[in-house]
Amino acid sequence: MGDFKNLLIEAEVIDLHRTTDNGRVKFLCFTRFHDNAMILGVSDGVDVWRLELDSDELDTHRDLAGVTIDAYLVKFRNGLTSGDLSVARIGNKITLTVGHEQDALMFDLFEATAAERRTELQSVLFRLADLASSLETKLAAANKTIDTLKSQNAKAGGLHHLMDLGPKKGAVKNKPKKVGMSVLNPTSKKRKAAQGVVFD
């Protein structure tokens, strides 16, 4: 069963979450791994509906979709992370549709017991709290890096101004003109205009 968990980890389908609504009620869809099964859960914040998928049950769903297990998990992950979801509540059952049209993956989730509801809500609550803390830490580190780079650029600004005083790269200097050289042919001397015969 360790292989099954590794398969789900590599496919990045564990610990996903996404909100959606059916026009009236907002739902949180989430996944987690517990007791050698992937738990797919939906909650309106009060009640929880869940489905446990072990290796065999997931393979049955995959077989109905007519694709490989890798393609199935990619389709599931992409649909959940992009929010391509729809939730329909019928009695004590929730039908979760991931994706759309003929390629959609459908799951029937059933109302959790009081103990299961408490466990699932507790699990997702702490996971989201940890994620928020992690994002705050990363944001603080990114802001610190930006401030450091700004101060380094400000200190280096004086040197940049001095360097700008030098000749521009690629600038061509005009050579000084030599006195007495022809304008049309710079390599030859000017010829004096003929003055005719000069008598003393």
CB 109 within 8 A of CB 93: yes
CATH number at residue 71: 2.170.210.10
pLDDT of residue 11: 93
Q: Which residues, given as ranges, of the chain have pLDDT below 70?
A: 1, 157-184, 186, 188-200
In-domain check, residue 141: no
In-domain check, residue 161: no
In-domain check, residue 176: no
In-domain check, residue 12: yes
In-domain check, residue 6: yes
Percent of the chain, pLDDT > 90? 50
CB 106 within 8 A of CB 94: no
Query: How many structural domains are present in the chain?
Result: 1
The pTM score is: 0.67
Residue ranges making up the domain that contains 34: 2-120
CA–CA dist 14, 81 (Å, integer): 12
Q: Which long-range contacts (CB under 8 A, 24 or more apart) does 21-25 make?
A: 21/87, 22/86, 22/87, 22/88, 22/89, 25/89
In-domain check, residue 153: no
In-domain check, residue 87: yes
In-domain check, residue 30: yes
